Structure 1
Amino acid sequence: MFSRSHDMPEWSTPIDEGQLSVDVFRDKNDLVIRSTVAGAKPDDLDIAIHGDLLTIRGRRESEHDITEDNWFYRECYWGNFSRSIVLPYEVTADKASAALKNGVLEIRVPISQAAEKSIRVRVEE
């Protein structure tokens, strides 16, 4: 968990939320977003698409209670996490799907057919 030191300005330290790493790519007619969310269950995840912004929020809990003086390394993040991504295409949000397998979240969103069309704009003098 992140905590803010009293000697540091408030803006310099993240709030109590981890940020997910993501892969975003195109697969034929779908935009695919993948992220490792090991330790999270489907009910722990909330995915929303609003316009061109996709947001993943969730929580993962450690299964072990370990006292502070027993830690040697602490690199894995446990607790709340989120990530918002500006989507590179217009998408058909109501046809989005998500699956969680082996700790990897995969979200598929069909790219809108309107996004496939290119329009030429004539410049007038």
Structure 2
Amino acid sequence: MTKNDKLEILIKQPDDQTAGEPGWLTQAGEGELLLDVCQDKNNIYVVSAIAGAKPEDLEIALNNDMLTIRGQRQQDSEVEEKDFFYRECYWGSFSRSIILPTEIKADKISAVLKNGVLTVTLPKAKNRQNIPIKISEE
């Protein structure tokens, strides 16, 4: 397996200086999607500027505690390389996966793409109570 075939993984530890931020994963060879992740009492919100993408160009999936957003940005016009002064916009495939900090009501997730900004709303599951487990001695 080559380096380009592997997932680049960074999982932030609780004692890391970035504690409180979820870990992220991105597929090597694809553009990275920048995200804002925040919460209120009832929801986690994942927000990303995705200019140039349409809803049919995007795929959002939840697998256990990992949310994955992938898609493709299409450039509307073809400009020859020699005609660029700066080329900073990313066009092509992108993906991003984050590990969510709490359980989610998967059947209540919604996503809206408005004016090039994707907002995914993930309703939090009710807090589960800690159930003590009795340990027996053998």
Q: Does TM, normalized by the shorter one, top 0.5?
A: yes
In structure 2, the partner of 1:67 is: 80
How many Å apart are 1:19 and its aligned residue?
0.6
Asked if 1:26 corresponds to 2:42, the answer is no
1:70-92 deviation per Cα after TM superposition (whole angstroms, max 9, x unaligned): 11111110111110000000111
Q: 2:109 aligns with which of 93, 96, 106?
A: 96
1:19-48 deviation per Cα after TM superposition (whole angstroms, max 9, x unaligned): 101011112211110001011011111000
Question: Which runs of 5 or more residues in structure 1 are unaligned?
Answer: 1-9
Q: What's the % identity of the aligned pairs?
A: 49
Question: Which runs of 5 or more residues in structure 2 are unaligned?
Answer: 5-27
Given the two structures, how large is their TM-score scaled by the length of structure 1?
Answer: 0.80
2:86 maps to a residue whose letter is: Y
In structure 1, the partner of 2:128 is: 117
Structure 1: how far apart are the matches of 2:58 and 2:87?
23
Q: 1:47 aligns with which of 33, 56, 60?
A: 60
Structure 1: how far apart are the matches of 2:3 and 2:79?
30
Q: How many residues align?
A: 112
2:85 maps to a residue whose letter is: F
In structure 2, the partner of 1:86 is: 99
